[in-house]
A = this chain, B = another copy of it.
Amino acid sequence: MAGSTYGMIFKITTWGESHGKGIGVVIDGCPAGLLLEREDIQKFLDRRKPGQDRYSTKRREGDAVEILSGVFEGYTTGTPIALMIRNTDQRSEDYNKIADYYRPGHADYTYDEKYGFRDYRGGGRSSGRETAGRVAAGAIASKLLKELGVTLTTYVRSIGPVSIETFHPEEINRNSLNMPDAAAAERASEYLEDCLRKQDSSGGCIECIVHGLPSGVGDPVFEKLDANLAKALMSIGAVKAIEIGDGKEVSVTTGSHNNDAFVGENGEVRKKTNHAGGILGGISDGSDLILRASFKPTPSIFTTQQTVNSKGDNIEINIKGRHDPVIVPRAVVVVESMTAVTLIDSLMTGMSCRLSNLKKIWN
């Protein structure tokens, strides 16, 4: 099945493997008239670039993006925008060994089971490198959202057992862990040093807050905004849980606490609280969206692991290569990108919800 296309009206199609010729994305359905420069996209890509701190892989890709189509005289034309990033720092020889066995926690085994064989170099298509295409698309989606007054703030909420305790948005880009709490970032660093010493890795949680989203976005009953966001975020490799608003906490609370009371203020309807995370009945309610994604620890660890080789023998392995002890900080921009792409697609598909809207455009 064709699983590399996402979105209905704002549609992105990614391609590429970790150690192939490159990584790319085609963004189709981007409205005409958006000022778009290579730098808009490069900035986003740089946020997920490896090799920026001691906790991320030492692979050093320039990740220089090329705009191949869809932009004319600086503006999007409404036709497909093809973007490509050539792979440059592939050391495939590091991976030759993994051709013969299944790395625990990776997709080696399931790709083999599905397709009969696999491009084993660096995980092939299942590599986190695939997300570069998503981020390039996310840059464009974010720029469109900004034109509509919608902005996103995304950050690391926890790494292993270390959670943020304060929220200073200006801190997010000041520490390499992208946490809005400098002290927590400090403690998380210590925790990661400990992981490194133990040849182990850590999970973590990313939160995304969306400001300025109009009410009325999302469609009953299967295309609910939260349903599409859950799919978008769960499609990121290492994510194992998605929460909206109070998330998992709602299961242990009561209606009297969880309901957000409406209040009228200067003719506007507001909510006193936002346990719902900005979505009621699958439709945005005009307050901030609140999303969380929990990431599993990087499966590539350097301690000895048990597994099976392709002949079915039980073996012990020691993974080599360049791997992040934590991928969460680099994944912040991936979460932001998938959220942005989902939101702009929902805004575009939802334009026809009222007959009066059709008249505004077509009369």
Contact = CB atoms under 8 A, between A and B. Distances in A.
A228 B3 CA distance: 11
Given A240-B248, A242-B242, A8 B2 contact: yes
A28 B13 CA distance: 9
A119 B221 CA distance: 15
Interface string A223-247: 1101111111111010011111111
A111 B283 contact: yes
A246 B15 CA distance: 30
A324 B23 CA distance: 36
Contacts of A215: 109-110, 113-114
A231 B346 CA distance: 14
Given A10-B352, A111-B281, 12 more contacts: A2-B10, A3-B28, A20-B69, A32-B354, A75-B117, A116-B356, A126-B281, A158-B252, A160-B252, A231-B231, A255-B299, A348-B358
A205 B251 contact: yes
Contacts of A255: 105, 200-202, 296-301
Interface in A245-293: 245-264, 267-269, 272, 276-277, 279-286
Given A21-B69, A234-B230, A263 B148 contact: no
Contacts of A269: 102, 109, 308, 312
User: Range of interface residues on chain A?
Assistant: 35 or more
Given A21-B68, A296-B258, A353 B114 contact: yes
A200 to B, nearest CB: 5
Interface in A195-234: 195, 198, 200-205, 214-224, 226-234
Interface string A155-168: 00010110000000
A34 B358 CA distance: 11
Contacts of A76: 355
Contacts of A285: 109-110, 113
A248 B358 CA distance: 34
A138 interface: no
Which of A3, A16, A106, A286 has the most CB atoms of chain B within a 10 A radius of its CB? Answer: A3
A202 B348 CA distance: 36
Nearest to A14: B221
A353 B231 contact: no
Nearest to A159: B251
A123 to B, nearest CB: 8
Contact of A248 (B126, B219, B243, B268): B243
B353 A351 contact: no
11 contacts: A9-B352, A31-B354, A68-B84, A106-B280, A113-B286, A114-B218, A160-B254, A258-B296, A262-B306, A272-B306, A361-B361
